[in-house]
Amino acid sequence: MNLTKKMRILRRYVLNVRKLPMMLPTFVSTMTEAKNDTINRYGTEFASKTDSYDLSEYHRALHTMIRILKPEIVIETGVFEGHSSLSILSALKENNKGFLYSIDLPSPDLPSGKVPGWMVPEHLRKRWDLRAGKSSDLLPTLLLEVKEVDIFLHDSEHSYETMYWEYKTAWAHIKTRGLILSHDVSQNAAFRDFAQYVSEDYYYMMKNLGGIKRTK
Ligand SMILES: C[S@@+](CC[C@H](N)C(=O)[O-])C[C@H]1O[C@@H](n2cnc3c(N)ncnc32)[C@H](O)[C@@H]1O
């Protein structure tokens, strides 16, 4: 990657993080802490469970946002082996506050004999409710149960219809100053279209991770 491109990415990252409800220096220092913290505290355990243990920048950013924003209720769709759940749950544990609800349609691509979220250790599961099924079947009921959500993360099926439907369904329950986060936002126009629909700005935290803050 040449220097101009690197500078462009850095500039976009800095501008976007500043607009989300976080101070940039706090984000950067917590992101560094997340790398050391999550990997040192939880990495060894996972390294023994999987050959491919690595928390990507996306997962460290999730951990960082949870550490800074200290949400009460987080919902995610799409768990697979559990990297994002682990990143969120480890931050909730550090915060000593908050609860994660996850919805996942078990994937045929899971390693043989493994269940969704298999890599999340027992001691992180106290703050976790994992439900198996399609988001279209489970999300409406879950939202009625929890009533209000601080952070909703989409990372399930990345079709336009599913993404847009999940954002729209969750939005009615997002608290003011709460967030919709989405992975794989560049797959299609659903994220941008939804931001326009709710008349809010959208931000790319990094490649493929988008955020919309509810301001009203
Ligand atoms: C991209 S993976 C999730 C990755 C995970 N968030 C992480 O960071 O490691 C997508 C997951 O969503 C599940 N999925 C696919 N369609 C779904 C649907 N309609 N509702 C809920 N989960 C779905 C898949 O089976 C898979 O487990």
**What are the pLDDT digits (tens) for 157-195?**
999 999 999 999 999 999 998 999 999 998 999 999 999
Q: What confidence tier does 35 reach under pLDDT thresholds 50, 70, 90? A: low
CA distance 2 to 110: 37
Ligand 1 atom nearest residue 58's Cα: 8
The residue-averaged pLDDT of 144-166 equals 98
Ligand 1 neighbours (beta carbon < 6 A):
77-81, 83-84, 103-105, 107, 116, 134-135, 155-157, 162
Mean pLDDT for the chain? 84
The residue-averaged pLDDT of 10-36 equals 59
* Beta strand segments in the chain, E: 73-77, 99-104, 128-132, 149-154, 174-183, 202-206, 209-213
**pLDDT higher at 132 or 39:** 132
Question: How far, in Å, from the CA of 157 to the mean position of ligand 1?
Answer: 6
**What are the pLDDT digits (tens) for 79-102?**
999 989 988 998 899 899 999 999
At 54, give phi and psi (nearest 5°).
-165, 125
Q: What element of type H or E holds 32?
A: helix 24-38
Number of separate domains in the chain: 1
The pLDDT of residue 127 is 97
Which domain range does residue 165 map to?
3-213
Question: How far, in Å, from the CA of 112 to the mean position of ligand 1?
Answer: 17
**Tokens standing for 122?**
């027992």
Read off the pTM: 0.86
Question: How far, in Å, from the CA of 105 to the mean position of ligand 1?
Answer: 6
**What are the pLDDT digits (tens) for 109-128?**
998 999 999 988 888 999 99
Ligand 1 atom nearest residue 87's Cα: 8
- Domain holding 56: CATH number? 3.40.50.150
The pLDDT of residue 69 is 86
pLDDT of 39 above 60: no
| 95 within 8 A of 67, measured Cβ to Cβ | yes
Residue of minimum CA distance from atom 9 in ligand 1:
83
**What are the pLDDT digits (tens) for 46-62?**
555 554 445 677 887 88
